[in-house]
Amino acid sequence: MNIVNILEEIEKVDGEIYERLNPRRAAMKDFFNMGKKITLAAMPLALGSVFKKAYGQSTPTQINDVLNFALTLEYLEYHFYNHAVVAAPGLIPTGAPIGAITTIRDHELAHVNLLKGALGAAARTPLAYSDFDFTGKGTFPDVYTNYLTFLKVATAFEDTGVRAYKGQATVLKGNAVLTTALQIHSVEARHASHLRQMLAANGATGLKPWISLGAGGVSNDTGIAAVDPIYVRENTSMQAGVNIVGINGNAGVTAAIAAESFDEALTKAEVLAIASLFIK
């Protein structure tokens, strides 16, 4: 295990990691002397203790549950992209497309490492590619042979991540890990936006960089009905109990603009129901 590499991965999603560690002289002393005191097998536990000092002295069980829930989703996303990059030759066009998907893959791995570090010994059992079925139990049989299908499923995954993190923000409120969770949330949103633009560049019509107002109560612009549950409530104009259409007499705030201005949260149960399509 290369601790420096792990910190570099974490820095990609938490630019303040060194600021969190540096003021804590005891934590940094333990960190730099770690190799002299423990065996390689014990390294993950020791590293976890460093992150507990950086992100909070104690982590309630409920917080660990949320972080492990997020970790499961990050494993899913990482293995989805990693397989496309290393084991699906010809799927992703060369040049900018393969570069973008590789970058997203690397971000997801950074998220995995960050969450594992924050959880320490409380981290769930690692998940491998073989723990998932990215065809969605046969729903997307061409996900690794049809580039458009791959992009649509990828968009659905990123949209799920955005809503999952938002849904758990209230649980993390008051804990130091909330900042990191919201940073990951923003990265997932940028992924979703970029993937929509990649879809548009490959012939998908009517797509904006954000979720658009949909018909029939579902704003699912992937064109895959099986992922409709991801977009439940996305067509609402209600925010904090207020209908913002035409708010303060502003006729420019239409139903479409109101619906497209906010990402709606998904509950943990809703996210797990969606993820169950891909988890063996």
Q: Which has more confidence, 18 or 128?
A: 128
| pLDDT(1) > 50 | no
C-alpha Rg value of the chain to the nearest Å: 20
| pLDDT(195) > 60 | yes
Question: How do residues 60-117 score in pLDDT, each as one tens digit?
Answer: 688 889 999 999 999 999 999 999 999 999 999 999 999 999 999 999 999 999 999 8
Q: Which residue segment(s) compose the domain that 176 sits in?
A: 59-210+267-275
Mean pLDDT score, 171-183: 77
* Structure confidence at residue 13 as a pLDDT band (50, 70, 90): low
Same domain as 17, residue 104: no
* Structure confidence at residue 191 as a pLDDT band (50, 70, 90): very high
* Percent of the chain scoring above 70 in pLDDT: 76
Looking at residue 18, its pLDDT comes to: 56
End residue of a domain, out of 29, 57, 85:
57
Looking at residue 23, its pLDDT comes to: 46
Considering the domain boundaries, does residue 97 fall inside one? yes
| pTM over cut 0.85 | no
Same domain as 155, residue 31: no
Q: Which of 83, 88, 134 is nearest to 108 (CA)?
A: 83
How many domains, in total, are found in the chain?
2
Same domain as 17, residue 99: no
* Structure confidence at residue 28 as a pLDDT band (50, 70, 90): very low
Burial 37-51 (b: 16+ CB within 10 A, else e): eeeeeeebebbbebb
- The enclosing domain of 171 has a CATH number of 1.20.1260.10
Mean pLDDT score, 159-164: 92
Mean pLDDT score, 121-149: 96
Q: Which has more confidence, 215 or 271?
A: 271
